[in-house]
Amino acid sequence: MSLILLAEQLLNGLQLGVMLFLMAAGLTLVFGVMGLINLAHGSLYMIGAFAAAAVAGVTGSFVLALAAALCAAAAAGALVEILIIRRLYHRDHLDQVLATFALILIFSEGTRWIFGSFPLFLNIPTYLSGPVTLPGGIQYPLYRLTLIAIGLAIAGGLFLLISRTRLGIQIRAGENDREMIAALGVDISKLYTIVFALGAALAGLAGALVGAIQSVQVGMGEPVLILAFVVIVIGGIGSIKGALIGAILVGLTDTMGGVLLPALFKTFMEPSTAASAGSALASMLIYILMACVLIIRPTGLFGAKA
């Protein structure tokens, strides 16, 4: 295997990681601040992608499409939070799981109703398509590099938001002590709606960005949702830093495992068996990673001790 291929895969892993981070950040914030487990987060990802595809189809503008994704997902998030989610904060996890599972059914079938069962396509704008040559002679798609840059920029922005702004202080207070934040005179229900909408917007953006390299279809959110769960479990639920590190760890493990394991197995197995055994193991690798992390630290890498 060449070094160039390896470097490409590293970048792919990084790209998957930062997109997972956009999903995981919202999930982990919502859990950390409101104590809610939200299975419908994947639906917000899907809504972002569909909004982007629809707007791009009409206007042809990728930037407008991204803006639409952000707005649609944030609006859907705020709406759902006000109508349904806020009734669930004081419920047990089982009720939360079921109610948000119900939301998935409603969102998925509703989207199928509106857009039909065929996938939509969101094209990469011409100014971002094609490869660029990186130092060392690596040819790498410009769009994927852009995704990495956007993801890292948002991660940085999120850290600034949480550490430097008033909203961030309220969020951190909400994570540590819910009563105190009410005592500080913060309007909690407004804060919750904002946090939920913020998480939704990030998920929607991720959906739109990834939608341009995959197809936009109903059900696209759930596989990502489950990966995002793995990410926040590894990182420690409630921790943004954990989400970032977990996301990149999962992205790299998944991508590198898919390439390296079959190659590794080929050194001592027949090529065809090696390929299938390697890819079968690779598909389970992140779950194995998660199990290992939890055996060593049952509350994740950066989770609060139970």
Partner 1 sequence: MSRETALNAVMVMGLFLVPLWALWADEPFIITLTTKAAILALAGVGLNIALGLGGLVSLGHAAFFGLGGYAMGILASHAQSYAPIMETPFLIEGTKSMPVIWVIAIITSGLAALAIGALSLRTTGVYFIMITLAFGQMLYFFSISWPAYGGEDGLSIYVRNGFPGLNTLDPIQFYAIVFVILMAVLVFAGRLAKSPFGLALNAARQSPERVETVGITSYKLRLIAFTISGMITGLAGALFADLNRFVSPTMFSWQTSGEIMVFIIIGGVGRLFGPVVGAVLFILLEHLLGGLSDYWHVYLGVLLLLIVLFARGGLIGTLAGKEISHD
Is residue 90 near partner 1 by the rule CB under 8 A? no
Residue 31 binding partner 1, by CB under 8 A: yes
Tell me if 203 contacts partner 1 by CB under 8 A.
Answer: no
287 contributes a contact to partner 1 by CB under 8 A: yes
x-marked contacts with partner 1 along 257-286 as a string, rule CB under 8 A: -------------------x--xx-xxx--
Residue from 138, 200, 171 nearest 33 by CA:
171
Contact between 85 and partner 1 (CB under 8 A)? no
Residues 249 and 16: their CA atoms lie apart, in Å, by 10
Is 186 one of the binding residues for partner 1 (CB under 8 A)? no
Residues in the chain: 306
Query: Of 57, 110, 130, 131, which lies in the binding site for partner 1, with binding defined by CB under 8 A?
Result: 110
SS3 at position 138:
strand
Question: Of 15 and 28, which has the nearer Cβ to partner 1?
Answer: 28
Question: Is there binding between residue 118 and partner 1 (CB under 8 A)?
Answer: no
Q: What is the C-alpha separation between 233 and 136, in angstroms, rounded?
A: 36
Determine contact, residues 22/147, Cβ cutoff 8 Å: no
Residue 125 phi, psi (nearest 5): -65, 150
- Give the integer Cα–Cα distance in Å for 138 and 131: 9
Reduced to 3 states (helix: H, G, I; strand: E, B; else coil), residue 209 is helix
Shortest spacing between CB 234 and partner 1, in angstroms = 10
For tokens 């995002």, name the residue.
Answer: 228
- Residues in contact with partner 1 by CB under 8 A are 31, 37, 84, 87, 91, 93-95, 97-99, 101-106, 108-110, 112-113, 222, 226, 229-230, 232-233, 237, 276, 279-280, 282-284, 287-288, 290-291, 294-295, 298-300, 306
